[in-house]
Amino acid sequence: MIEAAEVNAYAFWRTTPLAFSERGVRGDSDTVTVGTRLTGKLPANFDYTVEGMLQRGSFSLDSVRAYAFHGRLGYTITKNYWSPKLLAEYNQASGDENPTDGKRGAYDQLFPTNHSKYGLHDVVGFRNIQNLRSGISFQPNKQWKIDADYHSFWLTQKRDGLYNEQGALITQDRNGRSGKHVAQEADLQLTYSPKEFVSFGAAYAHWFPGEFWKATTRGAPGSSAYIYATYKF
């Protein structure tokens, strides 16, 4: 039997007085994002989340035709303090197939905080991207948690570009000759929570360049590491 699920439906309306069409014409922007999210548990220690979003509207003289999708499947191996859990996840945000056809196909990630969602290295935003993620997490005891993830990134549309977590363009090949595979990323995160209201953590991420990254940038790999503390009021 499938256990109880949670269903959410939402709509966001975003309007701005200053926008430029693909041909540089200034105008207003009105975009509506509608979406639904389903999350719950399945038999045999599985859990899932599925979410879909559509965007319609206008961006100056351009019409908006964009979408995004998120799917996640988790499996808890045992139910004790270690609680090792496996996950598989796929995310896709649409891109602009033709930069001069008057149709804006790149998904607007609205007002995001993408930290850790598409890699701890914090390069990739949710726009013209496909993200395949796999990972494992476990807790040796109530205070400690360890997370290890692998990501692989591709462009959705090869003539559109790669965008950062703020939605700004990082790099692009408008001819679409640089391929789609952006990079792979490996992440490791350690969290220590001595009390319910306080936690400490450390994380490390490494970026392995793909064909698109190598062709449109200097192609350098990258690493990042940080420590943090959280206090809940």
Q: Is residue 102 part of a domain?
A: yes
**Nearest to residue 45, comparing CAs of 98, 6, 83?**
83
pLDDT at 47: 94
User: Cβ neighbours of residue 159 under 8 Å, at least 6 residues apart?
Assistant: 96, 97, 98, 99, 173, 174, 175, 176
Q: What is the mean pLDDT of the chain?
A: 92
Reference 15, options 104, 93, 105, 110; nearest CA is: 110
27 in a structural domain: no
Give the Cβ contact number of residue 6 at 10 Å: 9
Q: Rounded distance, CA 75 to CA 83, Å?
A: 10
Whether 31 is in a domain gets the answer no
132 lies in a domain? yes
| pLDDT score recorded for residue 112 | 72
Range of the domain at 173: 59-231
Q: Does 107 map to a domain? A: yes
User: How many structural domains are present in the chain?
Assistant: 1
pTM of the model: 0.91
- CA pair distance 99, 33, nearest whole angstrom: 21
- Output the domain CATH number for residue 129: 2.40.160.100
Residue 82 lies inside a defined structural domain of this protein: yes
* Alpha carbon distance 156, 107 (integer Å): 11
The residue ranges of the chain whose pLDDT is under 70 are 1-3, 79-81
pLDDT value of residue 81: 66
127: in domain: yes
Separation of alpha carbons 213 and 181, rounded Å: 8
Yes or no: say if 115 and 104 are a contact pair by the CB < 8 Å rule.
no
Distance in angstroms between the alpha carbons of the first and the last residue of the chain: 39
- Report if residue 140 sits inside a domain: yes
